[in-house]
């Protein structure tokens, strides 16, 4: 048993309480490799922003679960070395799909876990979430649950169309499960293709796709039912068109990629939404930068040469999200 407290990590309880009170959101960035982790920590340390490092089941399979845990421990030391005296870093399991996966993370140093039982029938979602909460809380590990189904692919759970969270269920769900935060469905979805062109309009000047707005009415209903309760938004990449263009210009093929407009994420951050998940934007920044570098330097073959600009591009993107979208800068001085 390794406690996250020994690793210098924190759970989400205080982070979320302050974020809800302060009208900002905590960034939850996924990582699978060293360059992403370096960029996240550099961005958080420079802006003094609390940060959630997210590890998915796919990341655990790709990078090795043990190695990821040591990388997170190293991240705390690295943050201090960068001059961040009291780093507020949470290590979180993203989309945990079973009690066993959540338990294994609690036992190996994660400070927060998500149990995503949103594809199960309501009562089964409650039963599994409650079981995870009862285990995790013994070790002061916080638990995120999900109610409602996002459009697109949720790891291995696919949903043909989105089912918004039903506001009339949230009080019963939060009370009976004891979860610490709740991921809801209000129109966001995972990946770089969040809406079909048919669901969007087109900006007459740029020709770019303009997606339909998020269901803020559903969010406000939920907030009224659970005042001050931490709400989480998954699938919140904005799919910056500069990175889509960079990918496409240098050999990529990402037609009609579209995300959630940042103004809407900024608006959500001011509400009870206190955790915003971003993964695809980091993938786009990294891939765009690598494609560009390799196209411009065909004779280079040292991975450090192309991973350095990729890391810089991701760091720039993370800082932009923290400062201009979520408003979490300076909240972990």
Q: Report how far residue 60's alpha carbon sits from residue 74's, in angstroms, rounded to the nearest whole number.
A: 17
User: Taking CB under 5 A as the rule, which mask of x and - marks residues 132-171 in contact with Zn ion?
Assistant: ----------------------------------------
Binding ligand 13P (rule: CB under 6 A), the pick from 48, 57, 60, 234 is 234
What are the DSSP calls for 138-196, one per residue? TTT-EEEEEESB-BEEETTEEESS-B---GGGHHHHHHHH--SEEEE-SS-BSSSB-S-
Who contacts 2 (Cβ-Cβ below 8 Å, separation ≥6)?
A: 69, 107, 108, 109
Closest C-alpha to 143, from 125, 156, 157, 130: 130
Q: Is 155 left (phi over 0), alpha (psi -120 to 50) or beta?
A: left
Reported residue count of the chain is 333
Binding mask 116-155 for ligand 13P (x = CB under 6 A): ----------------------------------------
The DSSP code sequence of 135-153 is HHHTTT-EEEEEESB-BEE
Judge contact between 179 and 145, C-beta under 8 A: yes
Annotate each residue in 173-212 with x if it binds ligand 13P (CB under 6 A) or - if it does not, as one string: -----------------xx---------------------
Q: Which is nearer to ligand 13P, 163 or 176 (CB)?
A: 163
Q: According to the binding rule CB under 5 A, does residue 315 interact with Zn ion?
A: no
- Using CB under 5 A as the binding rule, whether residue 57 contacts Zn ion is answered as no
Please identify, using beta-carbon distances, which residue of 185 and 287 lies nearer to Zn ion.
Answer: 185
Q: Which one, of 114, 98, 107, 239, lies nearest residue 184 by Cα?
A: 114
- Is 94 near ligand 13P (CB under 6 A)? yes
- Say whether residue 235 binds ligand 13P (CB under 6 A): yes
Helix ranges (DSSP H) in the chain: 13-22, 34-47, 57-63, 65-81, 99-107, 122-137, 170-177, 216-225, 241-249, 262-269, 280-296, 303-320
Q: Quick one: 3 or 98, whose CB is closer to ligand 13P?
A: 98
59 binds, among ligand G3H, Zn ion, ligand 13P, none (CB under 5 to 8 A by kind): ligand G3H
Q: Is 94 annotated in the active site?
A: yes
The pattern of x and - marking residues 255 through 284 that bind ligand 13P according to CB under 6 A reads ----------------------xxxx----
**Is residue 112 a contact residue for ligand 13P (CB under 6 A)?**
no
Residue nearest Zn ion, Cβ-based: 234
Among residue numbers 200 through 259, which ones bind Zn ion (CB under 5 A)? 234
The set of catalytic residues is 94
Q: Name the site residues for ligand 13P (rule: CB under 6 A).
A: 30, 94-95, 190-191, 234-237, 277-280
Q: Name the site residues for Zn ion (rule: CB under 5 A).
A: 234
């Amino acid at each position: 048993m390794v406690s996250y407290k020994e690793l210098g990590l924190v759970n989400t309880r205080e982070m979320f309480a302050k974020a809800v009170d302060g009208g900002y959101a905590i960034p939850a960035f996924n990582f699978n490799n060293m360059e992403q982790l370096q960029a996240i920590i550099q961005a958080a340390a420079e802006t003094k922003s609390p940060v959630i490092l997210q590890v998915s089941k796919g990341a655990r399979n790709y990078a090795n679960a043990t190695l990821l845990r040591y990388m997170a421990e190293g991240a705390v030391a690295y943050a201090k070395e960068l001059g961040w005296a009291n780093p507020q870093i949470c290590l979180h399991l993203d989309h945990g799909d079973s009690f066993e996966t959540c338990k294994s993370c609690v036992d190996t140093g994660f400070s927060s876990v998500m149990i995503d039982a949103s594809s199960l029938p309501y009562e089964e979602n409650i039963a599994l979430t409650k079981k995870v909460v009862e285990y995790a809380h013994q070790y002061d590990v916080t638990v995120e649950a999900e109610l409602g189904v996002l459009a697109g692919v949720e790891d291995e759970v696919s949903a043909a169309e989105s089912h918004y969270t039903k506001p009339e269920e949230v009080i019963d769900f939060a009370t009976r499960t004891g979860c610490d935060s709740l991921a809801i469905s209000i129109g966001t979805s995972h990946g770089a293709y969040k809406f079909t062109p048919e669901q969007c309009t087109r900006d007459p000047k740029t020709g770019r796709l303009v997606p339909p707005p998020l269901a803020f009415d559903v969010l406000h209903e939920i907030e009224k039912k659970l005042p001050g309760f931490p709400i989480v938004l998954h699938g919140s990449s904005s799919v910056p068109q500069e990175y889509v263009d960079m990918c496409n210009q240098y050999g990529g093929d990402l037609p009609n990629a579209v995300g959630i407009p940042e103004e809407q994420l900024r608006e959500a951050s001011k509400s009870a939404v206190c955790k915003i998940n971003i993964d695809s934007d980091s993938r786009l920044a990294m891939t765009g930068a690598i494609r560009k570098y390799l196209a411009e330097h065909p004779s280079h073959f040292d991975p450090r040469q192309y991973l350095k600009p990729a890391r810089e591009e991701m760091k720039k993107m993370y800082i932009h999200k923290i400062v201009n979208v979520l408003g979490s800068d300076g909240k972990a001085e």
